[in-house]
């Protein structure tokens, strides 16, 4: 059953949805309990990172179905911990201040870079390390999984900076409350059509390889990559289309804390 490319695509969809929800739930919980809880949340995720690094290394020479799925899941584990460390505020950047409303474009870019600089350096380091160890391996599913995630995320961040119609900050934790001030609401930007075209072309390439390569393991690998790329394409379109994508994970998260009613008496003027 797992040799069916359609099943592989469903696996990619489920893992993407569930892992995103799990990270958001962990971040939301830690955000309610302060900085120390955020630190321990990121620290508690380190075994996932270790498992991902180990899984990536041991599947490089495995060309069967287990190796393909293992490499895919290992890359997601590495990526997931890096995102967890970012969303908990443990690995972000030196700039933790909101961007003023009126600043030159170059300054806005420098400030925006400062909010995520350490996270981006970590991502590039991870990418280079995975390429160094896996570029000539028999099984490159894990490597290409991380490559797709890396470039799709860079594209999404640049589009948010340049301006998109819809910016969803509902799940943004308190530790990153300064980030939206560096985004821009705009009808469209010059990069968005290029991003959509590049992701569509990449998905088409994976699908072409899916139907042309021999063997079920190779087909499953390309099915996983195609599904992941199409999900990245969908995430880009959700920056433009007025669809309630936040409902995909809201039910997994704890309900927001009710705001405490203001019991202070009115002042003498009744204002």
Q: Is residue 28 pLDDT above 60, yes or no?
A: yes
Kindly give the residue spans of alpha helices, DSSP state H, lying in the chain: 5-32, 35-44, 46-58, 65-87, 105-134, 141-162, 191-212, 216-237, 247-250
Does the residue 262 lie in any domain? no
Does the residue 126 lie in any domain? yes
Q: Is residue 268 pLDDT above 60, yes or no?
A: no
In order of 11, 69, 123, the CA distances from 220 in angstroms are 10, 8, 26
Does the residue 265 lie in any domain? no
Is pLDDT larger for residue 255 or for residue 46? Answer: 46
What tens digit of pLDDT does each residue of 223-239 get?
Answer: 999 999 999 999 999 99
- Quote the pLDDT of residue 14: 96
Q: What's the structural domain count of the chain?
A: 1
Residue among 210, 250, 215, 211 at smallest CA distance from 229: 210
Does the residue 234 lie in any domain? yes
Range of the domain at 160: 5-250
What tens digit of pLDDT does each residue of 91-123 get?
Answer: 999 999 999 989 999 999 999 999 999 999 999
- Token pair, residue 199, equals 């992701």
Residue among 19, 29, 71, 2 at smallest CA distance from 231: 19
Q: Quote the mean pLDDT of the chain.
A: 91
Does the residue 119 lie in any domain? yes
Does the residue 158 lie in any domain? yes
What tens digit of pLDDT does each residue of 164-206 get?
Answer: 999 988 888 999 999 999 999 999 899 999 999 999 999 999 9
CB 80 within 8 A of CB 56: no
Residue among 151, 111, 153, 147 at smallest CA distance from 128: 147
Does the residue 52 lie in any domain? yes
- Token pair, residue 46, equals 């380190």
Judged on CB neighbours under 10 Å (0-12, 13-18, 19+), 270 is exposed
245-257: buried (b, 16+ CB within 10 Å) or exposed (e) per residue?
Answer: beeebeeebeeee
- Quote the pLDDT of residue 1: 84
- Residue 185: what are its φ and ψ, rounded to 5°? -85, 125
Does the residue 266 lie in any domain? no
Q: How confident is the model at residue 247 (pLDDT cuts 50, 70, 90)?
A: confident
């Amino acid at each position: 059953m797992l040799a069916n490319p359609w099943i592989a695509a469903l696996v990619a969809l489920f893992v993407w949805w569930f892992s995103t929800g799990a990270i958001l739930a962990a971040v939301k919980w830690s955000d309610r309990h302060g900085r120390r809880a955020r630190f321990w949340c990121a620290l508690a995720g380190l075994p996932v990172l270790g498992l991902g690094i180990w899984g990536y290394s041991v599947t490089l020479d495995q060309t069967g179905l287990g190796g393909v799925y293992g490499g895919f899941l290992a890359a997601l584990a590495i990526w997931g911990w890096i995102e967890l460390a970012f969303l908990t505020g443990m690995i972000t950047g030196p700039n933790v201040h909101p961007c003023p409303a009126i600043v030159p474009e170059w300054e806005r870019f420098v400030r925006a870079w400062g909010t995520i600089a350490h996270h981006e350096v970590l991502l590039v380091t991870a990418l280079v390390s995975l390429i160094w160890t896996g570029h000539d391996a028999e099984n490159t599913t894990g490597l290409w999984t991380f490559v797709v995630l890396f470039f799709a995320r860079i594209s999404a961040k640049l589009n948010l900076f340049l301006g998109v119609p819809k910016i969803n900050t509902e799940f943004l934790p308190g530790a990153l409350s300064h980030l939206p001030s560096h985004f821009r609401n705009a009808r469209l930007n010059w990069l968005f059509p290029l991003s959509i075209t590049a992701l569509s072309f990449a998905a088409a390439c994976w699908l072409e390889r899916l139907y042309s390569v021999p063997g079920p393991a190779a087909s499953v690998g390309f099915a996983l990559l195609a599904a992941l790329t199409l999900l990245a394409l969908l995430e880009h379109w959700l920056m433009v289309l007025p669809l309630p994508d936040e409902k995909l994970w809201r039910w997994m998260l704890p309900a927001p804390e009710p705001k405490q009613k203001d019991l202070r008496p009115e002042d003498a003027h009744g204002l």
